[in-house]
Every structure is written in structure tokens, then in C-alpha cells.
């Protein structure tokens, strides 16, 4: 792709007749173009040249910019939106999940067991059967994970690893044998081997560090070649859903190499802002000092670093205890987990301070209110030494912020990224956190109405990578598993789309290039089969994307 000159960026169809300009490469006419500019202007047509938006306007105005070689796309009344930007999407894992056993459509434990059994039948004895991330047990009638014993029944000769999001997994007995977990294995720091309260036998469920430290290191290695395939597969899948850019939250060196290879080979069909995953202060020095903030190009840049401070719904650090759930969580004083660096809170501040000195963005995973409090304490401690107000430091997920937290974030210039976890995790939130906390979790309207700037996304494949699931939840607060949660926090359609476009672009430092359809910006857009502004919420959730452009090139077409 080539950059346009400043003159090109200033082109306006009303000011310049086609006779004095190069013609548009493509015009899309006779539709409803939601520009998501400052006024949320709606046009009939849009013109594209050299990978950028030339202008928007009426069909007649835009046709004036067409020449004999210009391609015309008749929208026939369809809606055009800016390309969707997922502010938190594990793109490489999405590509990996597309090749694994999937439970997206499972509605009973038997559906899960049948899928695992079918995969085991096709897998040689002793080899792993692995499932995809993007599902949740609360979508099942039984409202629970399969047990180790049930998995043994359908896959006795294969180790089975079923992740649920990035924080929970369930294994069978063959997998326990493979990874070295037995009835005497203690819980690791920051993790839990879930046990039957009556027998003390491990159920197969691993939480947080029990999963990441005990099980995941024993899974089959995936290297650069597999990662590269994951990346291209994931890009194509997301293009088909109208997504044109993502923040990849926390990559390791081999994954970064895969992204670089795809971009260098001109095979990228989706823009990626990658964060380097750090676990301790020395990681910032060793990994992040070799690049400048936003180093890269239009398809791949490195925006900063990512740290994970607490767990998720089962392990987010809360100020008040979790609810007691028989057979799942029976500790009366359980508050979830902090995921500290080796030196604890002192090293957390030092890690962030080193990132600030390098001028990097820091994005930190925080779910519970106690974790948010701790994060803001750390950010404020750094800000006393190094001004972070222009670095776009971010709180990821932000399930349970207080009004005071939002005020502190605004004072620091800290941003938020908000994802639709409740769509699938709602029932677990109700069980483990209680109704009051579940209702106010991820308070969309409160955040949007505050001075805190925010972006939208999915956290795929923790939940499925379906942006219109997310937009459906944002405008309705409906969930798949728990009905309506917190309807007072629902957004208007305009506000929801702005979160998913300009809001996300801002959190990624791309707001001058992406996020709206305005002259001079990259021609990233999606054509929908529904009327975004007027369709029912149910119809919005089922939206199909009929065409996706990235930089004026069609990367998906039904």
C-alpha cells in the first residue's frame, strides 16, 4: 500500500470536479454509509482511491469522481460501516482454535463428550485431543464443565485438554498422568486444582496458574510454522466478520516472528497492533527496549507491553469474598488471585516504571475491583516519577470499577477496553459474584458517559470472535446464559459502534488513520446485510458481512 500526499488527504468531492483529479479506484453507491465521524454523519456513497477514502456524499456526488476504469459497487440500500476494530483479540489463538475441537454449538454435556469422543476416535492412542477456547459451560443445560471421569469414558487412551477461556481448563486422567498431577499435588501459587469436597479427588478442573504452570508446559509444542498458519487463518476468519484491525494482547517472540513474516510477505489482510507480554521487570528491559512505541507499519506495529494482574470470573481479585458455590467454590473467604511478578507489588511498580521511561504504552488485565485499585495505585506511583498522561496506558476488561476508579483513570489519562465477556460468562458471574456484582459488571454506559476514553472488543477466543455478538450485548445487555444483566448500562447503537471503531482506534494510537470513513483515512470498511441502525437486536446479532475492504482491497466477499 502507498501513502497519499497531504494534497490527496484534503480532497473533497464538493470542492474538486473529477476533471481535475485522478479518478476513484472504487465507488460504493446507493447505500447507507455510517461514517462514524464526529457528527455520526450518514452518506449514500463513498469513493476510494489509493487505499484511502477519497470522499463520501450522495450517489450523484460520488459518481462524479468515477472514471472509465473505476469499479462501481451497487450497495442496493445496504449499510456500510467503518472496518470493525477489536481492541482485545488473541488473533493467533483464534486461528489455532479454528483447527481444534469446538463446542460453540454445544448445549449439553453429552454434546461436549460426543465431540471429544469423535476427535479421540480419529487421534492415535497417546496423542493429545485439544479443544478450542471460545465456549463456556454456562451455555450447557447442566451449567458445568465435564468431569475428569466423564472425559475418561469417551477418551480413555488420549490425554484431553479442554480450555475454557484463558484461565480455566479441564483434563482427563490420561492428561493428569501426562502432566504429573496426582492426588497429592499441591495447588501452585496463584492457582487451584479443583477437588471434590467429599472425596478430595481432583475433578479435572484447573484454575489460573494450575493450568498455565502445571498443564500447558506439557502440551505439544507449536512453533513458528504453526503460528504463521494460525495468523493467516485467523485473519481470514475475522475479515469475514467485518474486522479490519485488532490489538493482539501479549505476544511471545515466535508469534511476533510469524506476524512479521506475514506482513513482510504482503499477506496480511488485517492490521495488528501487538503488545509484548511481560511477566517481570527484566522482561521490559530485555524485550521492550529494542523497539520504539508504535514501531512498525500500517499492517503491523508494536504498541507496548501487556501484563496480567488478576484472574477472570473464577479468579479475579475482589474486595469482598466470592459466593460459595457447592462443588465449585467452597472457601468462605476466597477473594480470587493476584498474579504478581516475582517481586510482588514493588516489582509491579518497577516494571511499569521501566516501560514509562521507554515511552511505551502499558495495558494491564484487571477484572476485580481490588485488582483495579491495585493497578491504579501502581500507575499513580509511576506517574509521580514519569508523566504517563500521553502514553495511553490502559485498563483491560475493567469488570467492576467504582466511580472513584473512573475519576482516577481520567486524572491519569488511563484508557479502558471493554469486551463482551458477560455474553457467555453471565451465569458464572451470577453464581460466583452474586446478582449485584453481575448486574453492574462492565458498566458500559457509566464508562462511556465518564471522561475515560474506551474501545470495544471480544477478548476472543475467550468468548467467540463474533463482533455482532458484542454489539448485540452492548445495545441490549442480553446474554446467552443469564438473560438481561444490567440493562441500565446499555448503549445506543451509535455509541456501541463508536466504541468498536473510533474508540478502539484511539486505544491503539490509530485514530488518525482508522476508525471512521473520512477523506484521507484508510479505506477499511464492511458492507452488512442488515440495517444496523434500525434492525431488531436479534437481527443485529445475526448480521452477516457481505464485503470487507482493507486499504481499498476486497479481503472478503460473500
Confidence category of residue 221, pLDDT binned at 50, 70, 90: confident
HSE of 386 in the Cβ direction (CA atoms, 13 Å)? 20
Confidence category of residue 17, pLDDT binned at 50, 70, 90: low
CA distances from 454 to 199, 363, 393, 437 (A): 47, 12, 11, 21
User: What pLDDT, on the 0 to 100 scale, is given for residue 259?
Assistant: 97
In this prediction the pTM is 0.90
In this prediction, what percent of the chain has a pLDDT beyond 70?
96
CA distances from 459 to 234, 465, 499 (A): 14, 8, 14
Coil, helix or strand at residue 551: coil
User: What pLDDT, on the 0 to 100 scale, is given for residue 501?
Assistant: 99
User: What pLDDT, on the 0 to 100 scale, is given for residue 330?
Assistant: 84
Q: Give the residue-averaged pLDDT of 475-486.
A: 96
CB atoms within 10 A of CB 384: 9
Cis peptide before 269 (omega within 30 of 0): no
The answer, yes or no, to whether residue 436 has pLDDT greater than 80, is: yes
User: What pLDDT, on the 0 to 100 scale, is given for residue 389?
Assistant: 98
**What would the pLDDT profile of 118-149 be if each residue is shown by its tens digit?**
999 999 999 999 999 878 888 899 988 999 99
Q: Give the residue-averaged pLDDT of 161-165.
A: 90
The answer, yes or no, to whether residue 1 has pLDDT greater than 50, is: no
User: What pLDDT, on the 0 to 100 scale, is given for residue 9?
Assistant: 36
User: Sheet of 202-208: strands edge to edge?
Assistant: 129-130, 160-164, 168-171, 202-208, 191-195
User: What pLDDT, on the 0 to 100 scale, is given for residue 15?
Assistant: 55
Q: Read off the DSSP letter of residue 550.
A: E
Q: Which residues contact 313 (CB under 8 A, 6 or more apart)?
A: 167, 367, 421, 425, 428, 429, 432, 433
More confident residue, 254 or 262: 262
User: What pLDDT, on the 0 to 100 scale, is given for residue 13?
Assistant: 43
* Nearest alpha-carbon partner for 444 in 432, 452, 433: 452
Q: Read off the DSSP letter of residue 503.
A: I
The answer, yes or no, to whether residue 379 has pLDDT greater than 70, is: yes
Q: Cite the beta strand spans of 227-328 per DSSP E.
A: 243-251, 271-277, 295-296, 300-308
What are the chain's domains?
A: 1-83+516-558 (2.30.40.10), 102-218 (3.10.310.70)
Where is average pLDDT lowest: 201-205, 323-327, 391-395, 470-474? 323-327
**What would the pLDDT profile of 269-281 be if each residue is shown by its tens digit?**
999 999 999 999 9
d(CA 484, CA 179): 40
d(CA 5, CA 380): 41
Coil, helix or strand at residue 455: strand
Please check whether residue 393 is in contact with residue 363, taking contact to mean a CB–CB distance below 8 angstroms.
yes
Residue showing cell 480450555: 163
**What would the pLDDT profile of 484-533 be if each residue is shown by its tens digit?**
999 999 999 999 999 999 999 999 999 999 999 999 999 999 999 999 99
**What would the pLDDT profile of 414-427 be if each residue is shown by its tens digit?**
999 999 999 989 99
CA distances from 404 to 122, 148, 369, 378, 408 (A): 54, 43, 11, 16, 6
**What would the pLDDT profile of 282-307 be if each residue is shown by its tens digit?**
999 998 888 887 889 999 999 899 99
**What would the pLDDT profile of 72-116 be if each residue is shown by its tens digit?**
999 999 999 999 999 999 999 999 999 999 998 899 999 999 999
Torsion sign, CA atoms 340, 132, 120, 129: negative
Q: Give the residue-averaged pLDDT of 196-223.
A: 92
Amino acid at each position: 500500500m502507498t501513502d497519499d500526499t497531504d494534497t490527496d488527504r484534503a480532497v473533497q468531492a464538493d470542492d474538486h470536479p473529477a476533471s481535475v483529479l485522478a479518478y476513484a479506484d472504487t465507488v460504493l453507491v446507493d447505500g447507507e454509509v455510517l461514517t462514524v465521524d464526529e457528527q455520526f454523519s450518514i452518506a449514500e456513497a463513498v469513493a476510494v482511491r489509493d487505499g484511502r477514502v477519497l470522499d463520501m456524499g450522495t450517489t450523484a456526488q460520488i459518481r462524479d469522481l468515477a472514471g472509465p476504469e473505476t469499479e462501481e459497487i451497487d450497495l442496493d440500500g445496504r449499510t456500510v460501516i467503518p472496518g470493525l476494530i477489536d481492541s482485545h483479540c488473541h488473533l493467533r489463538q483464534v486461528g489455532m482454535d479454528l483447527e481444534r475441537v469446538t463446542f460453540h454449538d454445544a448445549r449439553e454435556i453429552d454434546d461436549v463428550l460426543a465431540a471429544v469422543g469423535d476427535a479421540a476416535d480419529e487421534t492415535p492412542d497417546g496423542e493429545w485431543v485439544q479443544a478450542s477456547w471460545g465456549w463456556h459451560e454456562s451455555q450447557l443445560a447442566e451449567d458445568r464443565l465435564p468431569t475428569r471421569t466423564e472425559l475418561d469414558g469417551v477418551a480413555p487412551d488420549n490425554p484431553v485438554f479442554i480450555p475454557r477461556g484463558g484461565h480455566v481448563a479441564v483434563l482427563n486422567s490420561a492428561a493428569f498422568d501426562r502432566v504429573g498431577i496426582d492426588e497429592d499435588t499441591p495447588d501452585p501459587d496463584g492457582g487451584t486444582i479443583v477437588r471434590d469436597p467429599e472425596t478430595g479427588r481432583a475433578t479435572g478442573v484447573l484454575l489460573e496458574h494450575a493450568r498455565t504452570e502445571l498443564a500447558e508446559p506439557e502440551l505439544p509444542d507449536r512453533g513458528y510454522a504453526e503460528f504463521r498458519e494460525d495468523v493467516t487463518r485467523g485473519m481470514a476468519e475475522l475479515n469475514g466478520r467485518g474486522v479490519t484491525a485488532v490489538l493482539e494482547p501479549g505476544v511471545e517472540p515466535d508469534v511476533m516472528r510469524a506476524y512479521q513474516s506475514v506482513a513482510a510477505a504482503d499477506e496480511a489482510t488485517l492490521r495488528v497492533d501487538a503488545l509484548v507480554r511481560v511477566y517481570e521487570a527484566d522482561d521490559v528491559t530485555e524485550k521492550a527496549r529494542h523497539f520504539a512505541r508504535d514501531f512498525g507499519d500500517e499492517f503491523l506495529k508494536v504498541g507496548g507491553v501487556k501484563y496480567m494482574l488478576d484472574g477472570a470470573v473464577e479468579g479475579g481479585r475482589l474486595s469482598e469474598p466470592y459466593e460459595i458455590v457447592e462443588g465449585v467454590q467452597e472457601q468462605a473467604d476466597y477473594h480470587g488471585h493476584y498474579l504478581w511478578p516475582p517481586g510482588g507489588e514493588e516489582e509491579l511498580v518497577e516494571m511499569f516504571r521501566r516501560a514509562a521511561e521507554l515511552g511505551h504504552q502499558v495495558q494491564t488485565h484487571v477484572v476485580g475491583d481490588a485488582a483495579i485499585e491495585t493497578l491504579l495505585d501502581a500507575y499513580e506511583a509511576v506517574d509521580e516519577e514519569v508523566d504517563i498522561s500521553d502514553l495511553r496506558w490502559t485498563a483491560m476488561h475493567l469488570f467492576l470499577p467504582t466511580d472513584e476508579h473512573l475519576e482516577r483513570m481520567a486524572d491519569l489519562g488511563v484508557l479502558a477496553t471493554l469486551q463482551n465477556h458477560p455474553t457467555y460468562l453471565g451465569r458464572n458471574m451470577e453464581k460466583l459474584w452474586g446478582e449485584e456484582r453481575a448486574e453492574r459488571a462492565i458498566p458500559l454506559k457509566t464508562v462511556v458517559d465518564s471522561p475515560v476514553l474506551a474501545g470495544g472488543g471480544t477478548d476472543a477466543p475467550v468468548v467467540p470472535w463474533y463482533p455482532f455478538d458484542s454489539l448485540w450485548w452492548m445495545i441490549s445487555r442480553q446474554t446467552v446464559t443469564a438473560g438481561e444483566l444490567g440493562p441500565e448500562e446499555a448503549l445506543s447503537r451509535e455509541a456501541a459502534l463508536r466504541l468498536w471503531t473510533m474508540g478502539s482506534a484511539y486505544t491503539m494510537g490509530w485514530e488518525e488513520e482508522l476508525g471512521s470513513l473520512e477523506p484521507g483515512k484508510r479505506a477499511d470498511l464492511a458492507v452488512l446485510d442488515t440495517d444496523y441502525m434500525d434492525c431488531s437486536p436479534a437481527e443485529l446479532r445475526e448480521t452477516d458481512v457481505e464485503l470487507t475492504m482493507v486499504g481499498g482491497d476486497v479481503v472478503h466477499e460473500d
